[in-house]
Every structure is written in structure tokens, then in C-alpha cells.
Amino acid sequence: MMIRDTYVGWPYCVHDDRVYLNSPIFNCLEHDSSVHLAPDKYLIDRDYQIFFPACGYLTSVNYSDEETLCFVELFDLRSPLRFKTHCGKMLWTAFILVGFVAHALGGHNPCCSYPCENNGVCMTQGENYYCDCANLDFYGKHCEIPTFMKRIKLFFKPSHETLHRFLTSNKWFWTIINNVPFLANAVMRSIYVVRAAMLESPPPYTSEHDYITVEANFNYSVFTRALPPVPKECPTPMGVWGKKELPPAEEIVKAFFTRKEFLPEPIGTNLLFPFFAQHFTHTVFKTDLKKGPQFQWGNHGVDASNIYGEDRNSQNNLRSFKDGKLKVQIINDEEWPPLISEADVPMRYPKEIKKTNRFALGHSFFGLVPGLFMYSTIWLREHNRVCDILKKEHPEWNDERLFQTAKLVIVGETLKIVVEDYSNHLTNFNFPLFFKPELLFGQDFQYQNRISLEFNHVYHWHPLVPDEFNISGTIYNMKEFLYHPEIVVKHGLRDFVDSMIKQRAGLVGPRNHGRVTIPVVLDLLKHGRTLRMQSFNQYRKRFDMEPFKSFEELTGEKKFAKQLEDFYGDINAVEFYVGMMLEKRLRFDSLFSATVIQFVSPFSYKGLMTNPICSPKYWKPSTFGGEVGFNIIKTASLENLICKNIKGECPAVSFKVPDYVEGDVTEFVNQKLEL
């Protein structure tokens, strides 16, 4: 039997010469245990499989068994049925099927099945739909046919998995590229441009609507969306796939996220990394939960507000108004942030925290964890160090000019460290990424950015955090560690940093969320459901990756795959964050799975390189106080940042533990996850 010419949509099965929908309305597996499923069960190949749109009509069901079935075409259920020839029993079956589906599914949005491919826009038209393929390199009823030039590009384009393997291997090749400046520049320029081009600018969607609005561009109080919300009138939370209701979030967290035993990170990541990530990302991820998970209060970019405060009032309270510097206090002959009694900024400290331990920081959250207090102290010292350099270079400048210029330098240092230290560790490529804004001059590049909801969600990497911390031989459990920034003062900044370097972070993956962070991931799943985020597979397609066809293909093993299937019922119904965390690794040669890297990199590069200081008007010595300030940025690194701001001998600064040996924990992690 061959079935052709179809719409994107639902799975089906065949039994006794009949076509049944395998859907929440009618599950053919439950109907008869002897049912034969069509190849791969899901409808992918247009030449051999049928597609059922969510509104309940089928198109061109062609049976080629000439002895009994002839050819049958089923058109819109609300239009007259058409048959090429009389097929006896099959004709009656068609009427039964059509009547059943019309009754069960009538009234649903036909776009719930996401029939439009390659970022085509599905438009309802009464009870029908059509795909808007305008301005794409694809055409056809479902935007499925590439143009001639696009077909050539696709022929030569490697898959993401192939490209990832190439970047993390073939060291000899990348050594040559790295040592030829014009080749390295060409590769880096391509990375900037290609990655940024994967995101729409201006943004088309927010959480309020599943279609384009003016608000999507002008309302800065909300996160944008890479994909619109699932339409409200769909038969399942993921459109047409999966069960009518998602499994309880508490059960998902218990099955897939709760830590039973700490699992170490396989490429040797230390605790400097997660605290840097958390400190840095709080300059851009600022959810306003009082209004709702779709709202935010930030400036949609790297503005260093995590150092200088959330608004002008906080910034002024943190400033000394002398020589451009920030306020400090001296303890044990070291500079530390002031107390809130000296700098009145909003901070979240429990009532039981002593007033002498209530430090005033750039973000109200940063008093929670000593690791965040560590970076707050380092950046405070760096700002004041830059002010001293600028004052020596420009004795004629007043406090305001020194402060504002130092702030620009700090933003530049942040961008360079994020690209060259942080991102290189995250990807683990053999091609070292580097920060060079002038590569984009003359390119078709827009210097504007918006923070998306999905970027915020995927950046929940709490499994990196262990259950206890070894600071110079003293072990602190999580209860003893949280809301105790004075631990850093007690041990001294140098020894605290050294301890962070030597302690291993956790694996970002299944069953490795500590007890303290379980409420965070639970809320994250609930927020994703409230905002009707599309499925993990839909996001893979959005970012040019093939959707997974089975649970085992997603997880790379059987145990988690079976649990996922029991919970969700369909691979196309797996939630966004769940899929991100449970996806198999190509190898343990990078910090994250392939989808996380493919997903994060466009948002990261666009967010970094669209910063105004990277634009031609800003990126020049005069912006940063002359060559002296410009050179501070150009020579910035994680090592320089830390070593220039601690007393005593500087430890070996890196995002990896010093005793790392490749593959040293891989067997242990696989055993614990039963991979």
C-alpha cells in the first residue's frame, strides 16, 4: 500500500484495509493489539506517508492495491468527498472514518499540526489553512521545496552533528587555520554573521500572541520568542502530538532531574565557570515574576547592570563620586563591597542575616551565593583599578567622565572574556573563538538585540552546582553556604578563588539537580507550560536540526527513553527543557548536548556582538579613554581579571580543574546513569 500527496500532521495506522488516526482522539494501538503501524509510525516522508491536519480532514489518500482498493481521495471533511473509482468496502470505510473524525476534531485550529516547513507561516482561512512562504528560499504548498540555489547550498551543507565533530576533532587542520590570520578572521566573521542571522531582527513574537504584532517589536517589558506559543485551541498541549494533558511537573522532576548522587562534569569544568555564568547572565536575564514569567525588567543586552545596579538610583548609591570609583570598605587589608547601610540598594537577605554581612551589590540576588559575591568583588576592584589608570592618563577629567568611561571599559572586558574564555570552554572547539568587532564592519549586521524567553529557559544550568563546597579544607554544605558571603571575606579572595578552581562542577544532564535547586527547575517547567512553549523537536527544526524520530534516538539509551515515552506518548510532545537536558551527547567532548550548543550560540553571539560598543562609532580608542583604555579591553582575559585584583600569588586561573585528565570520570558517569 502506498499513500501519497499529503499534509504535515498526525501519525496513522492501517488495519483491515482501513486508515485510523493514531491521535489523542482515537488511538489505534488501543483499538486492536494486532494493528500494523505504518513505517516509522510518524509522518515524515511525503512520498510514502499520509498527513492528518488537526482540523480533521485528510487529502489524497491513495491506495495502490489494484485488486480490491483502487484509488480513493478524501478531501476536506466539510466539502463533498471525491472518489476516482468505486471501491466497495473501502468506500463505506471512508465515510465512517470521515464522519468520526469530523465529529471528534471539528473546530480545531488547522495550524496546530505545524504543517508549514522551513519557517513558513501557517495562516488559517476559515476552516482551512495555507502556508506563507514569502521571503524564504523555499516554496510549495508547505514551503517544502527549496529554490535551485538553496538546493545547491543544502547539498553542500554539513549536518550540525558533522560540523560539531569536525570542530572538536581534526586538530591538525584547525592548527593551520589558527596560525593564518586572514583564514582565522574569515572563519570568525562567518561564525558571527551566520549565527546572528539565525535570529529574526526585529523580533516577530512574544508570549501574548501566536502571530506577529507591533507589540513584539516595541514592548521591551516582555521576552521575545523564537517560536510563537502553541495555539490555545489545539487538541493537545503540543499541538496535535502526545497526550491531552502533560504529565505532572513534579513527576518529571523526580524521574529525570533529582540528584541521587553528585555526577561530576566530564570535561573537567570547575566552579569558577557556573558562578561566572550566573553572575554574567544576570545582566540580561531579569524575569519579573511579579507580573508573570513572560515579563522582564532589563535592557535586553550586556549593560553591566549586574555590577552597577538595576537603575540610576542604585548606581548612584554604589558610587563614591570621587575619581569615578565605586564605594568600598577595607577588611583585612582588602577592598570589599560596602554594606547596605552605606549603599542603599535593594538586596534579598533573610532577616536572620547579620547586618555586618549584608553587602550592597549590583544585583539583589548576588548576596545568595558566595561565588556570586566573589565575582562582584572582583569586578568592583577592576572598575576602581581602571579608574586609577584613566585618571593618570587624563588628570583633567572629572568624576563623571572617569566613571562613565571606566564603565565602557568594563563592558568591553566582559564581552571579550565571555567570547574568548567562557564560550571557548562551553563549546570546546579546536578553533578558538575570539573577540574582534571590526570583523563585522561593512557587513550586513544590525546592532540591536532582544532577549528571548527560550534563551532564558535553556540557561538554567543548576546541575553544575555541587552539594558541598571545599574552601581551603573547610567543607560547607549548601545550607552553610547560601546567604553567607562573609565566607569569602573569612578565607580571603585569593584562597576562595583557588578553591573554586580546584573543585569540579557537576554534569549538566539528567538526575543531577541538587535538592536546593529542585524548586527552580520545577517552576521552570511550569512556566514553560503556562507560556505554551512548543516541543523540543519543533525547536530543533527551528534551528536547522533534524527532529528526533524516537525516544531512543533522543536519549541514546533505553531506560530514559522508556520513561519519556510513558510520560509523553510521542517524541514530538517532549517539552523544551526536558529534551535539552536528556539529549544524548555525541561524545563527552563538550559541556552540553548538540542542541544546547546549536541553540545557545546564535543568541550568545548576537547578544554580544550587537552591543553598541562593538559598532563602528563606538569601537575606537577615544571611546575608552584612548589607547590605554582600548588596550585594557584588547588584553582582557579571565586570568588578567582575577590576577590583577587579588593579593598574593595568583593561582592557575582557568575554567578547568588543574588535575583534569581526559575521560577520567566518563565511565563513572555512564555507570551511574546506566548508559
Q: 228-250: per-residue pLDDT in tens?
A: 999 999 999 999 999 999 999 99
Domain residue spans in the chain? 12-113
Q: State the average pLDDT over residues 361-371.
A: 94
Of 29-38, 561-570, 591-600, the poorest mean pLDDT is in 29-38
Q: What's the pLDDT at 161?
A: 79
pLDDT in tens, 520-555: 999 999 999 999 999 999 999 999 999 999 999 999
Assign 3-class secondary structure to 318-361.
Answer: HECCCCCCECCEEECCEEECCECCCCCCCCCCCCCCCHHHCECC
Measure CA of the first residue to CA of the last residue in the chain; give whole Å: 39
How many Cα neighbours within 13 Å face the side chain of 273?
30
Label residue 38 by pLDDT band (50, 70, 90): very low
Radius of gyration over every alpha carbon of the chain, rounded to an integer in angstroms: 28
Of the two residues 54 and 422, the one the predictor is more confident about is 422
Residues in CB range of 593: below 8 A, 6 or more apart: 509, 580, 583, 584, 585, 586
300 has binding-site annotation: no
Q: Let me know if 527 is a catalytic residue.
A: no
CA–CA gap between residue 391 and residue 412 (Å, rounded): 19
User: For residue 103, what pLDDT is reported?
Assistant: 37
Task: Specify the residue for cell string 515515552.
Answer: 565
Name the residue type at position 45.
D
Percent with pLDDT over 90 in the chain = 75
Average pLDDT, the chain: 85
Look up 459 and say whether it is catalytic. Answer: yes
Residue 407 has pLDDT above 70, yes or no: yes
The sign of the dihedral angle between the CA atoms of 79, 85, 88, 90 is negative
190 has a pLDDT exceeding 80: yes
pLDDT band per the 50, 70, 90 thresholds, residue 42: very low
d(CA 189, CA 176): 17
Q: Give the confidence band of 170 by pLDDT, cuts at 50, 70, 90.
A: confident
Taking 80 as the threshold, does the pLDDT of residue 516 lie above it? Answer: yes
What pLDDT sits at residue 437? 97
Question: With pLDDT > 70 as the criterion, what percentage of the chain qualifies?
Answer: 84
How confident is residue 107, by pLDDT bands cut at 50, 70 and 90? low
pLDDT score recorded for residue 671: 86
DSSP 255-314: HHTB-SS--B-TT-BBTHHHHHHHHHHTTT--B-TTT-TTBB-S-SS---HHHH-SSHHH
Q: Which of 282, 363, 457, 491 is catalytic?
A: 282
List of long-range contacts for 33-37, beta carbons under 8 Å, 24+ apart: 37/11, 37/13
Residue 670: the pLDDT is 85
Q: What is the pLDDT of residue 44?
A: 28
Alpha carbon 633 to its chain centroid, in Å, reads 27
pTM tops 0.75: yes
| Residue 586 binned pLDDT confidence (cut-offs 50, 70, 90) | low
Q: How confident is the model at residue 165 (pLDDT cuts 50, 70, 90)?
A: confident
Are the beta carbons of 266 and 588 closer than 8 angstroms? yes
User: Which SS3 state, helix, strand or coil, does residue 120 take?
Assistant: coil
Q: What pLDDT score was predicted for residue 582? A: 96
Q: Of 130, 459, 618, 660, which is the active-site residue? A: 459
Listed range (116-125, 155-164, 561-570) with the worst mean pLDDT:
155-164
pLDDT tens across 424-479, in order? 999 888 999 999 999 999 998 889 999 999 999 999 999 999 999 999 999 999 99
Instruction: Give the span between the Cα atoms of 660 and 657, in whole angstroms.
Output: 6
96: confidence class by pLDDT, cuts 50, 70, 90: very low
Per-residue pLDDT at 537: 97
C-alpha cell at 516: 536546593
Contact 306, 278 (CB under 8 A): no
Residue 675 pLDDT: 60
Identify the pLDDT of residue 95.
33
pLDDT at residue 20 is higher than 80:
no
Phi then psi dihedrals of residue 165, to 5 deg: -65, -40
Chain centre to alpha carbon of residue 348: 27
Q: What is the mean pLDDT of residues 632-646?
A: 98
